[in-house]
Amino acid sequence: MPNEIERKFLVNHQLWNELKKPQGSWYRQGYLVVEPKQVIRVRQVLAKGFITIKGSAVGIIRAEYEYEIPFDEAGELIDQFAHSIISKTRYKINEHGKLWEIDVFDGDNEGLIIAEIELVSEHESFVKPEWLADEVTKEEKYYNYMLAANPFNSWK
C-alpha cells in the first residue's frame, strides 16, 4: 500500500518574498468526499488531471493512491461533484537535498503560505530552510480539504 509521510510548516512571508524561486504552477482542486477515514480529491495542474484517494492519518503517515486522468474530465468532476474547491500556486524548491513544495494560496485562502516535505520515514531528519515558520503538521485546519471547507480568511 502506498503511503504518504509528510510534514507541513507555515512560511515566513518576508523571507519568502525575498527568496529567489522558480516559476510556480497553478493548481485547482476539488473535494468529492471528506470523511474522517477518507478524502477523495480531484486536481487540475498544468495540462493534467489527477484523482487522489487518501486514508486517515496515523501520526504523519497515511495511505495515498493517485491516478492521472484527462485534464478536461478532472475539470468536469470538480465542477459537477466537488462540494469545496481551493486554488493555489505551487513552487518546488530543492533545499539541503530535499524537495519542498510551497503552496501560495489564493481566493478565500489568500495570505496563507504552507511548505510541505515528503519523507521516506516518520523519523527521517532534514535541515529546515530559514524561510520556514511554525510546524502545523498535526493541525487539521491547515489540511487542504479543511481549507476548502473552512478558508483561512474566515478564521477569527
Return the percentage of the chain with pLDDT > 90, whole number: 88
Whole-prediction pTM: 0.93
Burial class (CB in 10 A: 0-12, 13-18, 19+), 125: exposed
45, 22, 97, 139 alpha-carbon torsion, rounded to 10°: -60
Give the pLDDT confidence score for residue 13 in this predicted structure: 97
61-115: pLDDT as tens digits: 889 999 999 999 999 999 999 999 999 999 999 999 999 999 999 999 999 999 9
Boundaries of every domain in the chain: 3-154
Q: Which residues does the annotation mark as catalytic?
A: 31
Tell me the fold of 3-154. Hypothetical Protein Pfu-838710-001 (2.40.320)
Give the pLDDT confidence score for residue 79 in this predicted structure: 97
Q: Average pLDDT of 127-134?
A: 97
Give the pLDDT confidence score for residue 18 in this predicted structure: 96
Element (H, E) at 38: strand 38-45
